A = this chain, B = another copy of it.
């Protein structure tokens, strides 16, 4: 049987553009994984890896026009957004080059022998080594930053792990182009091209997570798809770590004082954040607790004006458009739910942004309105109007895990009740914001892009310097002669790495 063709599709028309590849068979996946595994030792040298990551950033930047054109044709995200995403992706590759060079991620601990301990300590030296071949599942909504050249790939390569990427069907041509750029960069850096390979197809993705030589996986996508792969990773004879980012409602709480102080500003900020990228960010604020009364009314008026003025947008594919329309229809049909600006279909290929309102008291106990507490991918948010702080607490206690949770307070509210609200939001999310908006994720060492399930399937981050930790495991060497130790652990620290020696930084 011939392998199924993989088509690049124009989401603005729904028409196929070109056939760019074929779906990988099980044999193709096996070949890709074995090839990656065979070249894993080529990534052992940190300086080579850092140079490779920088060269990859250069190639991506040099090909920016081609990459952005390809990505826009397949995703309709627009050149402005895609140029920004490309710059961020290149910056991310360079940031991981710095992480590799500094070497703090190796988490080196050296304990000299100490006979006074209970039991006595032999000489012990620990650092972290790469896990092996990493499977990366590309995201629909970030064709660059969370796809072939994205954070999972960059952090895995930084860790010293070869990568097999499963392309997202929404941008196969962009994926092919980016994979070619990465492979060129590898060759230019003196590395085998197979440190990064690309496969297409749903079945290939399943085969990949089950392959005995795949040592870990990174995923960004839906709860349904991510959970299926997580389950497959856990059910293997040898289970592997599965770092999946699955779904997030990203709740926002606006205090009465905040609404009174700057309801209009908060409404406008919310509109911008929830419609950004046609509402297709995993950090889109999808649920907002707004006070009843005059301040909240002003917030809603401002939100109404801004959202109504947003043009129709194209979603990443028609399946997503169908899911969005079904999602907003079901939610709008619930009793006591209003749609001041109705989300729904634009023309045959677009969707119109909107938002729904509901009394918060309907969400304090289990019921049909619980559908409003589930993520709806696309340009819609739910405003729950609350009458008292008890309703806030009751609703928050019913929310699933999130990537982010946001609090809007007034200028003079930095103590008291606001502290209580912050404490109630912290267990819900991996990133907690005050007076900001969760879209736009800084690629910074202090970033944490992850959160309680279903936000992520592990306690790790997929953005920022510490994302490298996902692809490493510690190993300790005991009473090993200096000449046999890896240079990272030798007594005289020939590589000048940061370490903890005898329990203290050195």
Contacts and interface: CB of A to CB of B under 8 A. Distances in A.
Interface of A: 84, 87-88, 90-91, 98, 104, 107, 109-111, 117-122, 124-126, 129, 131, 230-231, 234-235, 238-239, 241, 401, 414-415, 418-419, 422, 426, 429-436, 440-448, 450, 452-454, 457-459, 461, 465-466, 472-481, 483-484, 498, 500, 503, 505
Contact of A472 (B125, B431, B459): B459
A94 B125 CA distance: 22
A222 to B, nearest CB: 16
B131 A459 contact: yes
Contacts of A91: 117-118
Nearest to A456: B473
Nearest to A233: B234
A276 to B, nearest CB: 12
Nearest to A124: B446
B445 A109 contact: yes
A498 B503 contact: no
A241 B442 CA distance: 27
Contacts of A422: 480, 484
A46 B401 CA distance: 26
A477 B442 CA distance: 12
A126 to B, nearest CB: 4
A483 B448 contact: no
Q: Ordered nearest first, which 8 A-B pairs have the shortest CB separation?
A: A234-B234, A109-B446, A124-B446, A459-B473, A448-B476, A111-B446, A433-B478, A414-B481
B459 A122 contact: no
A268 B476 CA distance: 25
A117 B442 contact: yes
A461 B127 CA distance: 12
Contacts of A426: 129, 475
A346 B505 CA distance: 52
B415 A479 contact: no
B239 A477 contact: no
A245 to B, nearest CB: 14
Contacts of A479: 433-436
Given A122-B436, A450-B473, 13 more contacts: A87-B118, A91-B118, A98-B503, A111-B445, A111-B446, A118-B443, A124-B442, A125-B446, A418-B484, A422-B480, A430-B473, A432-B478, A448-B475
Nearest to A418: B484
A109 B104 CA distance: 13
A448 B477 CA distance: 9
A53 to B, nearest CB: 16
Contacts of A440: 119
Contact of A446 (B118, B230, B415, B476): B476
A415 B483 contact: yes
Contacts of A231: 234-235
